[in-house]
């Protein structure tokens, strides 16, 4: 269902919900999830506390919504790249480059998650956690399929595509952590080209097969 098909009242409610989510994310990322109250969120977003509870029964529910929204947006960005008709080389390069957008647009969410990852993992509602995990699995499966296709077409050397997909994902997550934690020494501009170079150095055929740009 698109917003165009919603009634004026439904669109207004959706807009209010988005305003609450945006305000909560700003507070959470600045002060930490456990240092923010629903009252503070209501104050910042200029909604009555009772209205806030009409949208979200708890602070934990609000955080779960933030995580799910972020995961869905990342999936919507990455899936068309991985499912495109481009060569496997080009898909992987675009996949890596897309993380520049992810880091830029979701830095507050990344900062929040990385800042309190151990305790926040216990906050997400089980059904939402399952959907978030499924999104992660979907991306990894598609990424693995692209790498395997590259192997089958002779563009990449023989390898365990699933392990390479996991390694690439881990490198990108580590870059996000480092860019947030040590911004004075590590940046996306430096890190993404390095990750791309390491990936293709590993995937390149031993005979020196060239890659499409």
On the question of pLDDT at 188 being above 90, the answer is no
Q: Indicate whether 128 pLDDT > 60.
A: yes
Q: Which two tokens stand for residue 73?
A: 């947006």
Q: Which two tokens stand for residue 58?
A: 């708890």
**CA 157 to CA 148: how far, in whole Å?**
10
Q: Which residues contact 150 (CB under 8 A, 6 or more apart)?
A: 88, 89, 92, 156, 203
CATH homologous superfamily for 59-213? Answer: Tetracycline Repressor, domain 2 (1.10.357.10)
What tokens does 208 get? 């020196």
Instruction: State the pLDDT at residue 92.
Output: 97
Give dist(CA 206, CA 187) in Å, integer.
31
pLDDT of 63: 86
Nearest to 124 by CA among 177, 55, 173, 66: 66
Give the architecture (CATH level 2) of 1-57.
Orthogonal Bundle (1.10)
Nearest Cα to Cα of residue 38 among 67, 129, 27: 27
Q: What is the pLDDT of residues 134-186, one digit of tens each?
A: 999 999 999 999 999 999 999 999 999 999 999 999 999 889 888 878 888 88
How many beta carbons lie within 10 A of that of residue 212, not counting itself? 10
Is 84's pLDDT higher than 60?
yes
Q: Sketch the domain layout of the chain as residue ranges.
A: 1-57, 59-213
């Amino acid at each position: 269902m698109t917003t165009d098909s919603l009634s004026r009242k439904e669109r207004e409610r959706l807009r209010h919900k988005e305003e609450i989510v945006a305000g909560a994310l700003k507070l959470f990322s600045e002060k930490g999830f456990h240092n923010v109250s629903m009252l503070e969120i209501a104050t910042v977003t200029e909604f009555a506390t009772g209205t806030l509870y009409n949208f979200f029964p708890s602070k934990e529910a609000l955080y779960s919504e933030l995580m799910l929204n972020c995961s869905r947006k990342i999936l919507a960005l990455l899936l068309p790249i991985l499912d495109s008709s481009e060569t496997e080389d080009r898909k992987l390069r675009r996949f890596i480059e897309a993380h520049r957008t992810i880091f830029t647009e979701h830095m507050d969410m990344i900062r929040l998650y990385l800042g309190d990852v151990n305790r926040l993992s216990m906050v997400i509602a089980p059904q939402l956690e399952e959907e978030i995990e499924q999104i992660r699995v979907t991306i990894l499966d598609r990424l693995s399929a692209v790498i395997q296709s590259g192997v089958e077409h002779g563009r990449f050397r023989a390898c365990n595509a699933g392990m390479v997909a996991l390694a690439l994902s881990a490198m990108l997550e580590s870059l996000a952590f480092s860019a947030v934690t040590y911004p004075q020494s590590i940046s996306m501009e430096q890190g993404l080209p390095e990750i791309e170079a390491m990936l293709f150095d590993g995937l390149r055929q031993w005979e020196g097969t060239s890659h499409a740009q």
